[in-house]
Amino acid sequence: MPADCISNMFCYDKGVLRELEQVYGGHGLRKFLEAIARPPTRYYIRVNVLRAEPLQLLDDMREKGLEVYSDEFLEEALWLPVRGPNNVRDTGCYVVVDKRAAESVMMGAHVYAPGVVRVDECAKPGAEVTVVSENGVLVANGVVEEGFSTALRVKRGLVVRNVRPLYSVPSLRDTEWSTRGLIYEQSISSMLVARVLDPEPGSIIVDMCAAPGGKTSHVYELVRGRARIIAIDHSASKTRRLRENLERLGHRGVEIIRMDARYADLELGKGVADYVVLDPPCTSLGVVPKIYDSKSLRDVRVSARYQRQFLRAAYGLLRSGGVLVYSTCTVTLSENEKNIRYAVEKLGFRVLEPPSTTRRFAKGIGFCSDCSIRVHPHVHGATGYFVAKLVKP
């Protein structure tokens, strides 16, 4: 195990641990590290309120046998309890999968060819196998599919059907609710962003890092499609997914632009936007569940510097009086409160208080405690998140 690894799961160097300790202290840090290895306690979906009424959908899901509840604060949010950990049997016959696959297989996804790292000789069609991550976590029991060797050769298709994941929550992906665009699977933490933005119909809204579209589509629903929404992402494949998601939800008229959003104000013009959503790439330390992770202080610094470039462009894009919501799914001060301090002291933003409905979560730390919300995995049982609201004077 490399020197910086604190277990076989987390390799964070001293600088990252110091960043985490500044937020949680020593005791909290242990709790935080335990919590990010587990899934959230509730699996959230957002109801597309332009196509379905949340309480009717809740009844429909219950009639079909699902255990599902309404969120206490956001009427568009429903959740299903996540059960587990279940006892995954060590069959002695293994299919090893990469980090990304392991993190979804442990939640019930089947094993597809692109995520497979190694298949034991004993894994023949119909055999019961144990799916295991590269760091040795048993994530599911499954049955090898008939066409698995072809799937592996062409690197596409089903390899193992998951029969007993470490954690269980009913899969909604291929249900009619999903294919008909009635729901979008999204964490409650991520849903806070559009709610904090609280956009007005008739406005111009730019989502600078939009793919796969969770926040863009939520914003669209809040203004009931009555706004000019510009959704930017620099990745071709992710922009395609963004388009597919918006089509599935029936959200027409969103302008999708593939570009480097760090220069969006130069491309789209200064002062054009009433609202900006900025959800830039980050070190993702708050994402749950994690099968393993490795980060250095350098990653945090590079990420924080990159995020400041977007903040500068966001300032340029907004008109005077325009509102920015900045969010990350990470927990370091450098990528969150310190970036907000930079936005205020160096760029000229002013802070705003988020709506009271979002106050069931924690306040930000120190600077900007009143302008930001934090979701803590070990306290709130959800993805670690930071959301701040700013205005351009």
Catalytic residues: 329
DSSP for 283-352, written as a single string: --TT-S--S-EEE-HHHHHHHHHHHHHHHHHHHHHEEEEEEEEEEES---TTTTHHHHHHIIIII--EE-
| Minimum distance, C-beta of residue 341 to ligand SAM, in the bound complex (Å) | 21
213 vs 322, beta carbon nearer ligand SAM:
213
Q: Is 164 in the site for ligand SAM (CB under 6 A)?
A: no
Q: Confirm or reject binding of residue 212 to ligand SAM (CB under 6 A).
A: yes
Kindly give the interhelix angle for 214-222 and 188-197, rounded to the nearest 10 degrees. 50
**Residue 8 lies near ligand SAM (rule: CB under 6 A):** no
Taking Cα atoms as reference points, which of 296, 257, 252, 286 lies closest to residue 273?
Answer: 257
Among 260, 294, 338, 342, binds ligand SAM (CB under 6 A): 260
Q: Does 255 bind ligand SAM (CB under 6 A)?
A: no
Supply the minimum distance, in Å, between the C-beta of residue 67 and ligand SAM: 26
Residue from 83, 228, 234, 243 in contact with ligand SAM (CB under 6 A)? 234
> Shortest distance, CB of residue 20 to ligand SAM, whole angstroms?
20
Beta bridge partners of 116: 97
| End-to-end CA, the chain | 51
Separation CA 279–CA 208 (nearest Å): 7
Q: Rule CB under 6 A: say whether 189 interacts with ligand SAM.
A: no
User: Pick from 83, 180, 228, 238: which binds ligand SAM (CB under 6 A)?
Assistant: 238
For ligand SAM, which is the closer residue by CB, 123 or 210? 210
Calculate the alpha carbon distances from 58 to 67, 71, 280, 288 in Å: 9, 11, 33, 25
- Helices 297-317 and 14-36: angle between axes, nearest 10 degrees: 90
- Alpha helix positions (H), 143-235: 148-154, 176-179, 188-197, 214-222
Q: Of 88 and 232, which CB lies nearer to ligand SAM in the complex structure?
A: 232
Backbone angles phi, psi at 28, to 5 degrees: -60, -35
User: Which residue stretch of 14-22, 45-53, 212-220, 373-381 sits at the interface with ligand SAM (rule: CB under 6 A)?
Assistant: 212-220
Maximum Cα interatomic distance, the chain, rounded to a whole number of Å: 66
When asked if residue 190 is in the footprint of ligand SAM (CB under 6 A), the reply is yes
Q: Using the rule CB under 6 A, is 185 a contact of ligand SAM? A: no
Residue 377 engages ligand SAM in binding (rule: CB under 6 A): no
Q: What residue ranges bind ligand SAM (CB under 6 A)?
A: 190, 209-215, 232-235, 238, 260-262, 279-281
